[in-house]
Amino acid sequence: MLADAIRGGLYQTGDLLPAERDLAQKLGVSRTVVREAIASLRRADVVSVRRGVGGGTVIQSVANLPAVLAGLHTESRDSLRSLLEARRSVEPAAALLAAKRASVEEFAGLERLVALLEDHLVAPEAFFELDAHFHVAIGELSKNSVVAEFQRETFNRISVIRAEYPVGRVDRERAVANQQDTMAALKSRRRARIIASLDNHLGAVEEYFLGERLRFLW
C-alpha cells in the first residue's frame, strides 16, 4: 500500500506526504490503515515527522524500504493466521449468543446490512466495510461486551493487514451468498445450522487469505 507507493516512485525522498485524510482517499483505504502504515514506516526510519509550520510526514530515506516490504508479507501472514484462528473460536460463539438473545427487530437491522452488500458489489472498499460491519454487529447482538469488543478489534486489525497483504480477487457475489446463508442460520436459531453456516463462511475467508481452511478448535 503506502510502502509500495513509495517503492513505485509516487513519493520520493524529501517529499512531504499528503494529509492523512487525503492520503487515505488517494490510496483507496481507510485512515486507520494509513495511520498504521505510517507508524510502521516511522519505526523503520523511512519517514519522519516534521513539526511546526509546513510540517507533516516526510520521506526520510528509502534505504530500509526493501527490508520493510520483505517483512510485511511474513508478518502479515502470521498475524492474519493468528487472527483467523482466534476468530474461528469466538465468532461461532458470538453467533450462537446472538441467535439466543437478539430480537426480531435487531435481526431485521442485520438483514438490511446484507441487502446493502448487494448494492456495493462493484465498490470493493465500501463492500469490505459493510462486510466488517455485519460481523461486528453479530458481536454486538451477542449482548456480551467482551465478545463485541473482540469482533471490533479483530476487524480493525484485519482491515489494516489486508491493505498490506497480497491476495487474489475476492468473489464478492459468493461473499454475499455466504452472508445471506449466515443470516438465515441466525434467524433459524438452531445451533447445528449456525455452526455449519459459520464453518462454510469462515472457511471461505480463510481460503481467500491463507489458501487453506482452518478447523474448529471445539
pLDDT band at 73 (very low <50, low <70, confident <90, very high): low
For residue 67, pLDDT beyond 90: no
Written as one letter, the residue type at 128 is: F
Rounded Cα distance between 119 and 173, Å, is: 11
- Contact assessment for residue 139 and residue 147, using Cβ atoms and an 8 Å cutoff: yes
Rg of the chain taking only CA atoms, in angstroms: 19
Q: What is the mean pLDDT of residues 64-75?
A: 68
For residue 167, pLDDT beyond 60: no
pLDDT at 139: 97
Quote the DSSP letter at residue 176.
Answer: H
For residue 115, pLDDT beyond 80: yes
State the alpha helices, DSSP H only, in the chain: 2-7, 20-27, 31-43, 65-101, 104-118, 124-141, 145-164, 172-188, 191-210
Q: What is the mean pLDDT of residues 181-190?
A: 98
pLDDT band at 76 (very low <50, low <70, confident <90, very high): low
pLDDT at 214: 92
CATH number of 2-63: 1.10.10.10
Rounded Cα distance between 136 and 157, Å, is: 13
pLDDT tens for each residue of 3-44: 777 877 788 899 999 998 888 887 767 787 788 888 888 888
For residue 162, pLDDT beyond 90: no
pTM: 0.68
Q: Is 63 helix (H, G, I), strand (E, B) or coil?
A: coil
pLDDT at 62: 86
Return all residues near 92 (Cβ < 8 A) that are at least 6 apart.
Answer: 194, 195, 198, 199, 202, 216
- Contact assessment for residue 20 and residue 58, using Cβ atoms and an 8 Å cutoff: no
Q: Which CATH number fits domain 72-210: 2.60.200.20, 3.40.50.10860, 1.10.357.10, 1.20.120.530?
A: 1.20.120.530
For residue 169, pLDDT beyond 70: no
pLDDT at 148: 96
pLDDT band at 215 (very low <50, low <70, confident <90, very high): confident
Residue ranges of the domains in the chain?
2-63, 72-210
For residue 179, pLDDT beyond 90: yes
- Average confidence score pLDDT of the chain: 86
Rounded Cα distance between 148 and 114, Å, is: 19
pLDDT at 164: 58
